[in-house]
A and B are shown apart, each in its own frame.
Chain A
């Protein structure tokens, strides 16, 4: 399995506050992804990166931004958190044709 860690693992925040989630990988994979997972939905892509400083939007990118200053780190920022962003967030990296996932961050926005 790819070495992928996410921090924090759990977070409770208030509406309107900024939140940053971190994904760290030790596999030197070029591609990295941020997904959200909600009941009744499949995993939905928020943003992805195809290299340092190279990022692009996914299907549910509104309200989110990302940054990748190093190969190993991919940050997801909620500029002003809303209750609709309460979710479980997964980071993934891609090696070969396969995506490998981190353990997830459970975010509650009150």
Chain B
């Protein structure tokens, strides 16, 4: 069964304390792995798409990486404004639909 699992469910960090969020997937025929950020009361906001193992993408303090089984979202020296829920989703190449993880709630304390 196709599945996307994110860990941890919640992560509390001090401002400046770097860490990583995990997204593991078991999807037959991965077309792409997507990362989104969601603020409370808002819709998900697109961050990155990764298409092949070894690929990396960066945006400000965020860097996403992809292997054949999982993706990581690395957060370097986070700030309180990075607090949000981060969602990952895998797109299948058979039907192009997204399979979503339940998200990691990130809290950055000043």
Contacts and interface: CB of A to CB of B under 8 A. Distances in A.
Interface of A: 1, 4, 40-45, 48, 58, 90, 92, 97-104
B49 interface: yes
A97 B43 contact: no
Contacts of B4: 42
A100 B44 CA distance: 8
30 contacts: A4-B43, A40-B102, A42-B87, A42-B89, A42-B99, A42-B100, A42-B101, A42-B102, A42-B103, A43-B87, A43-B89, A43-B98, A43-B100, A45-B98, A48-B97, A58-B97, A92-B43, A97-B31, A97-B91, A98-B34, A98-B49, A99-B34, A99-B98, A100-B46, A101-B36, A101-B43, A101-B45, A102-B43, A103-B42, A104-B41
A103 to B, nearest CB: 5
Contacts of B91: 97
Contacts of B44: 43, 90, 101
Contacts, number: 46
Q: Is the interface of B mostly helix, strand, loop or mixed?
A: strand
Interface residues of B, number: 22
Contacts of B103: 42
Contact of A41 (B36, B41, B43, B102): B102
Interface string B70-92: 00000000000000000101010
Interface string B26-65: 0000011010100001111110010000000000000000
A104 B42 contact: yes
Which among A42, A58, A97 has the greatest number of chain B C-beta atoms within 10 A? Answer: A42
Contacts of B34: 98-99
Given A42-B87, A43-B87, A98 B100 contact: no
Contact of A45 (B32, B41, B49, B97): B97
